[in-house]
Amino acid sequence: MKHIKFFLIIYTFSIAVGANTNPILLDYFEKVYSEEINKFLSCIENEGLSKKDQIYSDCRISEELEDAAFIIDNKKAISSYDFLSHISKYKSIKKVRPIYPSKMQQEGEMGYLIVKFDIDKNGKTINYQILERQCGNVYNPRTEFISCDGFDRATLTAVKKLKYEPTQINNEPVVHRDVLHRFTFLMAQEKNVLLDSGANQYNKLIAAMKRNEFERALKIANENLEKDDYFLYQKAVIKFYMKD
């Protein structure tokens, strides 16, 4: 396993905010990027689906490819469609935030719903179905969620108003089935607590890396990925130093 000095941590941290990329890291992640793309395309080929049906492929891009794309191109999110040139995936052109139900707000209820729907050739949402509905403190990893329907109406109202550029295959719009979308309802004061705790967690991550405790550092990064891009970046860097 590689040992890393603290000055290197500060240097790699600066990359995420626009400094020149460490050439050793860049070479490594460019190699990973190329290898993982080839693995993905091989999976697509072996699946034997027609080009039209490849939008429903079970092949998935790897976490290693996601890390490499973030380091090389600063892409926080990539999908399999980025590597299938004949497919242009649907794009959101009208986002709608559900109205927080007053009853749930008064009771201090938070929660989330996962909705499945299709996007037709005109970019409209159709065939809505709620797959999961849960109430509980979304920020607390120990929360025991319970099923609830207090957010259903507000969520479905928002889903019906969503608008997309439709998926295209060889420049022809098609219906894209089984799109999943998660709606999360959060109380504002909880969000502030989360933001306040981010700096403390990042300091713990840096301290763990300084002591070469990479397993602990990786655990902290994974637990805080949604708080800030710095955790996403450091996760990729930690895995680089753990590779041998």
Place of tokens 């109406």: 153
Strand (E) or helix (H) holding 17: none
Q: Which two tokens stand for residue 188?
A: 């504002």
Cβ–Cβ under 8 Å, residues 79 and 180: no
Q: What pLDDT does residue 228 have? A: 67
What's residue 140's pLDDT?
67
Q: Are the CB atoms for 14 and 206 separated by under 8 Å? A: no
Which segment, 16-25, 71-80, 176-185, 195-204, is predicted with the most confidence on average?
176-185
27-47 mean pLDDT: 92
Work out the average pLDDT over 61-76. 83
pLDDT score recorded for residue 208: 83
CA distance 5 to 3: 7
Mean pLDDT of 22-27: 78
DSSP 3-state assignment of 147? strand
Strand, coil or helix: 115: strand
Task: Please give the share of the chain, as a percent, with pLDDT higher than 90.
Answer: 38
Compute the distance between CA of residue 6 and CA of residue 22 in angstroms, rounded to an integer. Answer: 15
User: With 80 as the cut, is the pLDDT of residue 53 above it?
Assistant: yes
Give dist(CA 148, CA 155) in Å, integer: 13
Q: Is the pLDDT score of 198 beyond 80?
A: no
Collapse the DSSP code of 215 into the 3-class scheme (helix H, G, I; strand E, B; otherwise coil) and give the result: helix
* Contact predicate 180/115, CB 8 Å: yes
Which domains, from first to last, does the chain contain? Answer: 6-89+191-242 (no CATH), 91-186 (3.30.2420.10)
Beta strands in the chain (DSSP E): 87-88, 91-94, 111-119, 125-135, 146-147, 163-165, 168-169, 172-173, 176-185
Best CA proximity match to 21, nearest among 221, 233, 231? 233
Give 124 or 241, the one with higher predicted confidence.
Answer: 124
Q: Quick one: average pLDDT of 193-217?
A: 73
Q: Across the strands, what pairs with 124?
A: 163
Q: Which pLDDT score, from 0 to 100, does residue 17 have?
A: 38
3-state SS, residue 66 = helix
60: phi then psi, degrees, rounded to nearest 5 = -130, 145
The predicted-structure confidence for 91-129, as pLDDT tens digits, reads as follows: 999 999 899 999 998 888 889 999 999 999 999 999 999
Query: Over 70: is that where the pLDDT of 1 sits?
Result: no
